[in-house]
Structure 1
Amino acid sequence: MEIEQPIDMTFPNTFCKQCTYIALLPIMFPLYLTLPDVKKPHRKKFVIFSFIGSILWIAFYSYLMVWWATTIGVTIGIPTEIMGLTILAAGTSIPDLITSVIVARKGLGDMAVSSSIGSNLFDICVGLPLPWLFYFIYFYAAKGTVTLISVTSNGLVCSVGMLFAMLLILVISIGLSKWKMSKRFGIVMMGAYVVFCVISVILEMNIISCPLRMVGGSC
């Protein structure tokens, strides 16, 4: 197994690496200053602090990403639903992508697939309802009443249906690839994602209407 080296913040020599270094410096430098590098033998005992600190930094960067994406969407006239389906969805999935690439290169294909599915289940079952629960608890304790949060997505039901279809395509694609992660498997899944994004954007822009709607109007 490849031994991971400690983070090196020295300026690289090649042009491509220099561009990457400059682009990532605003993110990497605060992390380098505040998080112990547990890849160094004498700092392995601080792994818990690095883990908790990493979660806090992810929360901070996520807040900035949502803020900037919302501002950009409002400025150029892109609905927040579409920004959530595209920019925010891709941005919040980058850590999952990096994790899957790392474990796949180590030959842990099962972990890569399980991580991608498990992270989405966690987002839906924990990441989405938990903030709402805290919101209701806080406002009910402060005011004795709460205001319900309205979900105004035009194609939510169809998007959920397509999500189940994507899971089915995932299983079928892995089966056709003889239960191995191949280039054909990657191409099929990328194509399915593009189709999902296109259809979801069309639904949100009301170019076509979702035939399935929740009771009470838009969903």
Structure 2
Amino acid sequence: MSYLLLLIGFALLIKGADFFVDGASKIAGNLKVSPLLIGLTIVAFGTSSPEATVSVLAALEGNAGVALGNVIGSNIFNITLVIGVTALIAPLAVENETVRKEIPFTLLAGVALLILMSDTALQALSENVITRSDGFVFLLFFTVFLYYIFEVARRNRAAQTNDQSAPAAPWTKNILLTVGGLAAIIFGGDLVVDSATEIALTFGMSETLVGLTIVAIGTSLPELITSITAAIKKETDIAIGNIVGSNIFNIFFVLGAASVISPLAVESKIFMDISLMIILTVILLVFSRTNFRIGRREGAVLAAAYIIYLIYIILRN
């Protein structure tokens, strides 16, 4: 039964992503904003909903390790394997604004997280904790990011108001496609995580190892499938916007909301993972500045980096 549910889950993910990207790209046309902005907002926030659900529930249950590890693991997965595999399928063109503002904002998110959780080193406290006040700082950063996005969207829309080259697609159909596709992605991802976890446990894998691998990857499957689908459909703006927006959303909103609900105690070994996440974001920025595209060579490097990281966490734990 678990194998059947696994196949159904993957089918829902793939078809849901197909509908989701189609609907989101047509909504972008109707709103007269760039697909990149839709990727940074609607697509990014939608595909990050599994991370938000897992981390907020974990915070409510007092499980800080799951809440924090889920976000960090998902961000590393997004930067390396998702962008890497997507670039291998179709090289990703990166807009100038993304290189100058959005990716640096992702880097800011990682550095802010590292600083706010380093209580032992910076404040000589006995333990490292992401407090409620830290959570409000994250949410404030998230508000600034949303303001920036809305301002860009307003300018972008104003520049396209005179462009009547394409007729508006039907709103109701595209909203239903987007919402229905997102629901299929979330439900399919949940089926894949649950069934794969059950299968892995029957093979003798520990729950900790399952959590670090299958569950972490499972909550990022929406980003992976959506970005690959976007690349196949030549909507590379949606693909790159999805990842950049998701990583910002994960730190500033998901961790912000989770730590406001319940302060998150930080394990010492997670500092290595956060440092790696920051380094990988810098590498992504460097790759993006190379002719403003992430080619197949860069994609192969990023994908290989995740395989190395996966081996590292398996050996570490």
Q: Under a length normalisation based on structure 2, what TM-score does the superposition of the two structures give? A: 0.42
Are residues 1:61 and 2:16 paired?
A: yes
Structural mapping, 1:22-101, within 5 Å: 46-101=1-56
Structure 2 residue aligned with 1:150: 93
Distance (whole Å) between structure 2 residues aligned to residue 215 and residue 181 of structure 1: 36
Structure 2 residue aligned with 1:194: 143
Structure 2 residue aligned with 1:21: none
Structure 1, unaligned stretches of length 5 or more?
1-45, 136-147
Q: Is the 8 A contact 1:100 1:113 kept in 2?
A: yes
**Percent of matched pairs sharing the same residue:** 20
Structure 1 residue aligned with 2:106: 163
The structural deviation recorded for 1:202 is 4.7
Give the paired residue count. Answer: 158
Q: Is the 8 A contact 1:103 1:111 kept in 2?
A: yes
Structure 2 residue aligned with 1:214: 289
Q: Is the 8 A contact 2:117 2:128 kept in 1?
A: yes
Distance (whole Å) between structure 2 residues aligned to residue 218 and residue 133 of structure 1: 12
Larger Rg: 1
1:30-86 deviation line (CA, Å, top 9, x unaligned) = xxxxxxxxxxxxxxxx33443443243233323322221111110120111111111
User: Which structure has more helix as a fraction of its residues?
Assistant: 2
Q: Is the 8 A contact 2:94 2:292 kept in 1?
A: no
Q: Is the 8 A contact 1:70 1:80 kept in 2?
A: yes
1:99-144 deviation line (CA, Å, top 9, x unaligned) = 1123223322112111112112211211122133234xxxxxxxxx
Structure 2 residue aligned with 1:125: 80
Distance (whole Å) between structure 1 residues aligned to residue 40 and residue 30 of structure 2: 18
The match for 2:63 among 108, 127, 135 is 108
* CA distance 1:105–1:87, shift in 2 (3 Å): same
The structural deviation recorded for 1:195 is 1.6
Residue 132 of structure 1 aligns to a residue whose secondary structure is: helix
Q: Is the 8 A contact 2:116 2:134 kept in 1?
A: yes
